[in-house]
Amino acid sequence: MDITKDIQYVGVNDREIDLFEGQYVVPNGMAYNSYVILDEKVAVFDTVDGRFGEEWLNNIQNALQGRTPDYLIVQHMEPDHSANVVRFLSAYPTATVVADQRAFVMMKQFFKEDYPDRRMAVKDGVMLSLGKHTLHFISAPMVHWPEVIMTYDDYDKALFSADAFGKFGALDAEEDWACEARRYYFGIVGKYGVQVQSLLKKAAGLDIQTICPLHGPVLKENLGYYLNLYDIWSSYGVESEGVAIFYTSIYGNTKKAVELLAQTLREDGCVKVVCSDLARSDMAENIEDAFRYGKIVLATTTYNGDIFPFMRTFLDGLVERNYQNRTVGFIENGSWAPIAAKTMKKILENSKNLTFIDPVVTLRSAMNEENAQQIKALSKTLCE
């Protein structure tokens, strides 16, 4: 597939995978992207997952049309992108591997070889000429591993962005970009918002016309849309107006309170209301929604002197990813010693700029008329 006259796509689609990184459900598979620049010298960008080495090498051979690559640029050492480094360098023994110095340390760990006689270590500001294409290397530590580099081609004005601007899903999947890119971002990169903001500042000085990520489609149209979303996500801003309610319910009583709140929010004119049963929904999608909306409600039961396990997993996931800048309401349930709200607040206490709505709605086993009035008051506060 031609990206430009000189840049070709040589990646692969993975329709065999069920869990990406062993945890993220990917019903539409994954794409492992790799690219070739054909100039006076030839550069290959990144390898692919180990299971697709032969297909990838065939793609490269077809793209090269008899030429020999001069460089393998390794932007990220995670195995879905680096697993075939050894195989490539064996197939092309004159090629030089280009990477951050920290990547060579990881190569030694992964492959027991760090190629001291055929490597080029690069960092921020280093340039490599292929002929008319000059590559500018951009250090992007912790987006989302420490050795990550990105590459800007000043001729075709293309940014090879490593895992940034990636998404779940094979390239032949017909699906909304933002939904799976958001789930990918907050699941995998979300903790590193400060580092992504630093990268965006570097990118602002470049004339970018094409973004070539390591997962998901090549982006050419309306780049401002994608850059704006990344700015919102990495600054922990609010993307969409609305209220997201996350709950667990054992015998249905907490669920009834949540359903009343959702109904009341809609009656009070709330633009968007999302309800998620944490025990029966994808945790990565729940985390995605918690970051998407500016207001959330947490509803759960006291359980073993703590909170229901799915709620704790959810909150741990938010805290791990630096959850901040949100308004949070609470509904708790407990038959004899309700402490769920206190426990949830304790988990979130070190998160930045969270506004907790008081009073807490406290159910004693089942919802009563007082609770119904409290829920109506909570709805009005959330809709203000």
| pLDDT at residue number 326 | 98
To 10 degrees, what angle do helices 309-320 and 340-348 make?
Answer: 20
Tell me: the pLDDT tens digits for 146-191? 999 999 999 999 999 999 999 999 999 999 999 999 999 999 999 9
| Three-state secondary structure readout of 176-189 | CHHHHHHHHHHHHH
* Average confidence (pLDDT) per 10 residues, the chain, 384 residues: 96 97 96 98 98 98 96 98 97 98 97 96 97 98 96 98 97 94 96 96 95 98 96 97 97 97 96 96 97 98 95 97 98 95 96 96 97 97 93
Q: Are 190 and 322 in contact (CB under 8 A)?
A: yes
Question: What number does CATH give the domain 7-234?
Answer: 3.60.15.10
How far apart are alpha carbons 151 and 136 in whole angstroms? 6
Domain 242-383: CATH architecture, name and number where available: 3-Layer(aba) Sandwich (3.40)
Backbone φ and ψ of 288, nearest 5° = -55, -45
| 84 CB burial (10 A radius; 0-12, 13-18, 19+) | buried
Kindly give, in sequence order, each residue whose CB lies less than 8 Å from that of residue 71, ignoring residues fewer than 6 positions away: 41, 42, 43, 44, 95, 96, 97, 98, 120, 128, 130
Distance of CA 38 to CAs 93, 174, 250, Å? Answer: 18, 30, 60
Kindly give, in sequence order, each residue whose CB lies less than 8 Å from that of residue 281, ignoring residues fewer than 6 positions away: none
Tell me: the pLDDT tens digits for 28-85? 999 999 999 999 999 999 999 999 999 999 999 999 999 999 999 999 999 999 999 9
Spans of all domains in the chain: 7-234, 242-383
How far apart are alpha carbons 7 and 262 in whole angstroms? 50
How far apart are alpha carbons 82 and 102 in whole angstroms? 14
How far apart are alpha carbons 84 and 14 in whole angstroms? 15
